[in-house]
Structure 1
Amino acid sequence: MTSRNLTSAEEDVLDEIEDGEIDFLRLQFTDILGTVKNVSVPARQAEKAFTEGIYFDGSSIEGFVRIQESDMRLVPDPDTFAVLPWRQREDGASARMICDVYNTSTGEPFEGDPRNVLKGAIERANEMGYEVNFAPEPEFFMFEEDEEGRATTDTADHGGYFDLAPKDLASDVRRDIIYGLEDMGFEIEASHHEVARGQYEINFEYDDALSTADNVATFRTVVRAIAAEHDLHATFMPKPIPKINGSGMHTHMSLLTEDGENAFHDEDDEFNLSETAHSYLAGILEHAPAITAVANPTVNSYKRLVPGYEAPVYVAWSDRNRSALVRKPAARVPAASRIELRSPDPSCNPYLAFAVMIHAGLDGIERDLECPDPVRENIYEFDEQKRDEYGIETLPSNLGEAVDALEEDEVIYEALGEHVAPKFVEAKSQEFEEYLVDVSEWEIDRYLEHY
Structure 2
Amino acid sequence: MWVELHYTDRVGRLRAVRVAPLSADALVARVDGSSIGMAPVEKSDLLLIADGSTLRPIPWLDRCWRAISDIYVAQNVRHPLDPRYTAQRVEEYFGSLGLRPLVGVEVEFFVFKAIKMLYRVPAVVAYKLEFVDRSFGRGLDSNYHVVEGVLGGYLDEVALTLRNYFGVDVRSYHHEVASSQVELSLGAKGPRAISDDIQTVKYVAKYVASARGLKATFMPKPVYGENGSGMHVHVSLWRGSTNLFYDPSDDYGISQVARYFIGGLLSHSRALAAVVAPTVNSYKRLVPGYEAPVYATWGLANRSAMVRVPRVLAPSDARVEFRPPDPSSNPYLAIAAILLAGLDGVRKSVDPGESLERSSYELPRIPRERTLPRSLGEALDELASDSDFLKPVFTKDLLEAYVEVKLRELEEVSSVPTPTEFLKYHDV
Q: Matches of residues 48-63 of structure 1 in structure 2 within 5 Å?
A: 48-49=26-27, 53-62=28-37
- CA shift in 2, pair 1:406/1:319, >3 Å: same
**Aligned counterpart for 1:237 among listed residues 219, 224, 229:** 219
1:195 aligned residue: 177
| Residue type of the alignment partner of 2:162 | L
Q: Matches of residues 34-433 of structure 1 in structure 2 within 5 Å?
A: 34-49=12-27, 53-62=28-37, 64-87=38-61, 89=62, 93-104=63-74, 107-145=76-114, 152-158=128-134, 160-166=143-149, 169-183=150-164, 184-257=166-239, 259-384=240-365, 387-388=366-367, 393-412=370-389, 414=391, 415-433=393-411
C-alpha deviation, 1:419, in angstroms: 2.5
Distance 1:82 1:398 in 2: 39
C-alpha deviation, 1:330, in angstroms: 0.7
C-alpha deviation, 1:412, in angstroms: 4.8
Larger radius of gyration: 1
Deviations 1:139-176 (A, max 9, x none): 0111113799x99511112351111125xx32111111
8 A Cα contact 2:252 2:311, kept in partner: no
C-alpha deviation, 1:194, in angstroms: 0.4
After TM superposition, the structure 1 stretch with the greater mean CA deviation from structure 2, 199-208 or 397-406, is 199-208
Distance 2:17 2:128 in 1: 29
| Residue type of the alignment partner of 1:428 | K
C-alpha deviation, 1:372, in angstroms: 1.4
2:412 aligned residue: 434
Q: Which runs of 5+ in 2 are unaligned?
A: 120-126, 136-142
Deviations 1:320-351 (A, max 9, x none): 42111001101210011000001100011000
For residue 357 of structure 1, give the secondary structure of its aligned residue in structure 2. Answer: helix
For residue 373 of structure 1, give the secondary structure of its aligned residue in structure 2. Answer: coil
- CA shift in 2, pair 1:147/1:194, >3 Å: closer
C-alpha deviation, 1:314, in angstroms: 0.7
- CA shift in 2, pair 1:128/1:315, >3 Å: same
For residue 311 of structure 1, give the secondary structure of its aligned residue in structure 2. Answer: coil
8 A Cα contact 1:407 1:413, kept in partner: no
Distance 2:93 2:115 in 1: 48
Name the count of aligned residue pairs.
411
8 A Cα contact 1:135 1:251, kept in partner: yes
C-alpha deviation, 1:44, in angstroms: 4.1
For residue 438 of structure 1, give the secondary structure of its aligned residue in structure 2. Answer: coil
C-alpha deviation, 1:409, in angstroms: 0.9
For residue 40 of structure 1, give the secondary structure of its aligned residue in structure 2. Answer: strand
Deviations 1:77-126 (A, max 9, x none): 11111111222x3xxx211111111121x732111100111112112211
Structure 1 runs (4+) deviating above 6 angstroms are: none
| Residue type of the alignment partner of 2:94 | A
For residue 78 of structure 2, give the secondary structure of its aligned residue in structure 1. Answer: coil
For residue 432 of structure 1, give the secondary structure of its aligned residue in structure 2. Answer: helix
Deviations 1:298-337 (A, max 9, x none): 1000110011211111111101421110011012100110
